[in-house]
Structure 1
Amino acid sequence: MTLANQLTLFRIILIPLLVVVFYLPFEWSFPVSSIIFSIAAITDWLDGYVARKYDQSTPFGAFLDPVADKLMVAVALVLLVGVHGSAWFVIPAVIIVGREIVISALREWMAELGKRASVAVSYLGKIKTTAQMAAIIVLLAFDPALYPTWMIIGYITLYIAAGLTLWSMIIYLKAAWPELMSKEHR
């Protein structure tokens, strides 16, 4: 078990901890939830860095890392939907989660065709992930009823992330379009 894989597993272990802390009936549950998510986000960057720097890339890590990322973001967004409970919040949350489902399916299908490289993670995807993490960290950190200004900042950042999410999805779909429309694959 490489250090990179251990970091990824640690990120997955943080998910139930995030849920428990988020629902604790204390005012400090907001900032502590944000700290837990921040630690998970740092391990997202760190496990990739360690895997590349120390040549610790493994098939298990290649499978588990994106699963951990998507679980972390989806769980945090579901928790936040419960607190924010408005269409203004649900719309970008659905865009983000929906895009992850579409692109995961697209990558799996393209891998079956031996063309996974055409839908590999791009620089825009990294910017999108950073915007998502920043938005979720802000939204988790502050009770929206007590800190409406931070809620607005979180919403703006979340909409930026949703916009980048749609943009990156369009780029991936455009790259895969010739295969999607190929007569031999219909």
Structure 2
Amino acid sequence: MYNLANQLTLFRIILIPLLVIIFYLPFDWRFPVCATLFTIAGITDWADGYIARKYQLSTPFGAFLDPVADKLMVAVALGLLIELHGSIWFTLPATVIICREIVISALREWMAEIGARGTVAVSMVGKIKTTLQIVAIVVLLAFDPAKYDLMEKLGLIALYVAAVLTLWSMIVYLRAAWPSFKQGADNSSSE
């Protein structure tokens, strides 16, 4: 249970309160440090998956905890940025991303329960979305928006593109799951 892959996942969860604490410090260096912490979390996300696959260290605990750690880190970072930016133009794409993560997590849980988890496996659109989302969050965390207007705009553009890809990937997942939804509805109506 406590193999290297799972330890990296737990480390990512430990980074979350550290990110929050540093984010609220009254120093300018908090911005690049928060971006660095989020980047480290992204690297450990890649590393724990790679290590688990390469060395056959996958465990049910890791399979549960890894996506939870990812969603928590993204949701907390976006929540901090929503407060920092205090704008509907920032809150809208951030909320879309957070809500999609909740919907897809619930969908995957349900699909696993009915034995069809492979139906909602990660797609290429999902991988591109995740990469762009990480880049957007890192850029937005790295620079004080009061001092770096251009970087804020670039980060916001990346966040909007990530939000569009987020909706697109959600549609892909829901389409893949639709036959299971339909079958479940047909079974319940025949009872």
* TM-score category, normalised to shorter length: over 0.9
Aligned mates of 1:42, 1:104 — CA distance in 2: 21
**Which aligned runs of 4 or more in structure 1 are off by greater than 2 angstroms?**
none
In terms of mean alpha carbon deviation, does 175-184 or 139-148 score higher? 175-184
Aligned mates of 1:20, 1:31 — CA distance in 2: 14
Q: Normalised by the size of structure 1, how large is the TM-score?
A: 0.97
Aligned-residue offset at 1:181: 2.4
Aligned-residue offset at 1:185: 4.7
Aligned-residue offset at 1:128: 1.0
Q: Aligned letter for 1:18?
A: L
Q: 1:79 and 2:80 equivalent? A: yes
Q: Normalised by the size of structure 2, how large is the TM-score?
A: 0.95
User: Which residue number in structure 2 is paired with residue 106 of structure 1?
Assistant: 107
Identity level (%): 69
Alignment coverage as a number of residue pairs: 186
Correspondences of 1:36-115 after superposition (within 5 Å): 36-115=37-116
Q: 1:184 and 2:187 equivalent? A: yes
User: Which residue number in structure 1 is paired with residue 119 of structure 2?
Assistant: 118
Equivalent position SS for 2:26: coil
Cα deviation 1:127-156 (Å, max 9, x = unaligned):
111111100000000010100000000001
User: Which residue number in structure 2 is paired with residue 25 of structure 1?
Assistant: 26
Aligned mates of 1:73, 1:131 — CA distance in 2: 12
Aligned mates of 2:116, 2:93 — CA distance in 1: 30
Q: 5+ unaligned residues in a row in structure 1: which ranges?
A: none
Aligned mates of 1:3, 1:85 — CA distance in 2: 39
Aligned mates of 2:6, 2:124 — CA distance in 1: 23
Aligned mates of 1:94, 1:181 — CA distance in 2: 28
Q: Aligned letter for 1:19?
A: V
Is contact 1:135-1:157 (8 Å) kept?
yes
Q: 5+ unaligned residues in a row in structure 2: which ranges?
A: none
Q: Aligned letter for 1:124?
A: V
User: Which residue number in structure 1 is paired with residue 134 of structure 2?
Assistant: 133
